[in-house]
């Protein structure tokens, strides 16, 4: 199975949800290098307050990098270029939050996100992404709540970490 790409999203949908957190989506032509991509093209890149994608960029990658932006503190965001950094707790929060943000994108949703995360090779103690999210991610959820990135109902607050 191939993962869902940004070209498959409804026009403007990614931009709409990320604008709420101050992250601008910059579309690049297919085939060109993606500045700020940690893994290299077609994976998404982060430079400052810009998420760089191409049509063939996987949605899971775009949301993962966007959630790094949301989860990092203001000091790291100010110097952001390529490597989001952070510790294990933050990385777990990023993975959890990208699942929640997937529910905000028409045509994506968490079920597809789980499938795409598994296809790409995300690694979790319980095996697959769904099992981790549903049975082993309490620490990630708690971390996100402690930074006011999700509310008590588990919904994204659509704010960045302060």
Question: What is the pLDDT at residue 29?
Answer: 97
Domain extent, residue 17, equals 6-61+74-78
What CA–CA distances, in Å, run from 2 to 8, 28, 112, 117? 12, 21, 11, 11
| CB distance 65 to 84 below 8 Å | yes
Say if 119 falls within a structural domain. no
| pTM given for the model | 0.95
In a domain, 96, yes or no: no
19, 17, 94, 84: which is closest to 48 by C-alpha?
Answer: 84
**Per-residue pLDDT averaged across 45-63, rounded?**
97
Q: 1 pLDDT band (50/70/90 cuts)?
A: low
Confidence of residue 78 (pLDDT cuts 50, 70, 90): very high
Count of domains forming the chain = 1
């Amino acid at each position: 199975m191939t993962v869902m790409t940004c070209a498959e999203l409804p026009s403007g949908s990614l931009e709409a949800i990320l604008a709420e957190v101050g992250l601008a989506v910059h579309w690049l032509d297919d085939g060109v290098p993606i500045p700020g991509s940690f893994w290299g093209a077609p994976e998404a890149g982060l430079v400052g307050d810009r998420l760089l994608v191409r049509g063939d960029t996987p949605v899971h990658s775009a949301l993962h990098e966007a959630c790094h932006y949301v989860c990092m503190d203001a000091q790291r965001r100010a110097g952001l270029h390529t490597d989001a950094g952070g510790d294990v707790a933050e990385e777990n929060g990023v993975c959890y939050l990208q699942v929640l943000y997937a529910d905000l994108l028409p045509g994506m949703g968490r079920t597809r996100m789980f499938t795409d995360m598994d296809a790409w090779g995300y690694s979790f103690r319980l095996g697959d992404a769904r099992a981790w999210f549903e049975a082993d991610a309490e620490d990630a959820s708690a971390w996100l709540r402690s930074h006011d990135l999700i509310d008590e109902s588990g919904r994204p607050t659509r704010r960045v970490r302060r």
